[in-house]
Amino acid sequence: MITGSDIAPGKRLFDIAVSLTALVLLVPVLAVIALLVRLGSPGPVLYRQQRVSRGGRLFELLKFRTMVVGADRMAANVSATGDPRVTRVGAFLRKSYLDELPQLLNVLRGDMSLVGPRPETPEFVALYSPEERRVLTVRPGLAGPSTLAFMDEADLLAAAPDPVAFYTTTVLHDRVRADLTYLERRSIGYDIRLLATQVLSIVRRLR
């Protein structure tokens, strides 16, 4: 079991304050998205998936559902642009990153932080090298260096002859290398800059 700790308690207080405030302010938005997901295709509003948190602990990550029910049984846990499993509503939610909003609950519960390495599923964490497993010494984040660096990940996968192989041999490890830089630079100020950059990047994507 990997152990480790986040930086000063101020980071956790920052996570709680921001996630709780955002959840309260976004209640109308969350309700509308939930309705659109329910009307867009049969099935639950939320998608729950096991991810790996700090110290190798498993937790249940929450997202608005963007795929048809049973999508995880139809193909591998990798999704490229044009994936037929993605619903019409889901395609917009993914592009706008609105599908990630339920993870504010993960942040509030302490499974995640607002900023940190992006959490992976157990089968991909099993492919990490000993050096790469250092990302498990801090809470994973809703946003972070790899999230910003790979906002076009679905397009990269779509251009690959074998998206699954390309993800496991290249993208996965490039993402972890990006997230390892967070361990050296983490601070409340850096978190705020990354969050602001993430929001601006999403706005530009939607223009």
What tokens does 180 get? 């390892």
Question: Using CA atoms, how far apart are residues 10 and 21, in angstroms rounded to an integer?
Answer: 16
Does the structure show a pLDDT above 80 at 1? no
Helix axes 9-25, 27-40, angle to 10 degrees: 70
Question: What's the pLDDT at 3?
Answer: 43
Domain ranges of the chain: 9-205
Task: Report the pLDDT value the prediction gives residue 161, as an integer from 0 to 100.
Answer: 96
Whether residue 7 is predicted with pLDDT greater than 90 in this model: the reply is: no
Q: Does position 202 have pLDDT exceeding 50, yes or no? A: yes
Share of the chain above pLDDT 90, in %: 87
| Interacting residues of 200 by C-beta distance below 8 A, sequence separation 6+ | none
Radius of gyration of the chain, Cα coordinates, nearest whole angstrom: 16
pLDDT in tens, 129-185: 999 999 999 999 999 999 999 999 999 999 999 999 999 999 999 999 999 999 999
Q: Which of 154, 24, 6 is nearest to 86 (CA)?
A: 154
pTM of the model: 0.91
Find the helix or strand (DSSP H, E) in which 115 lies.
Answer: strand 113-115
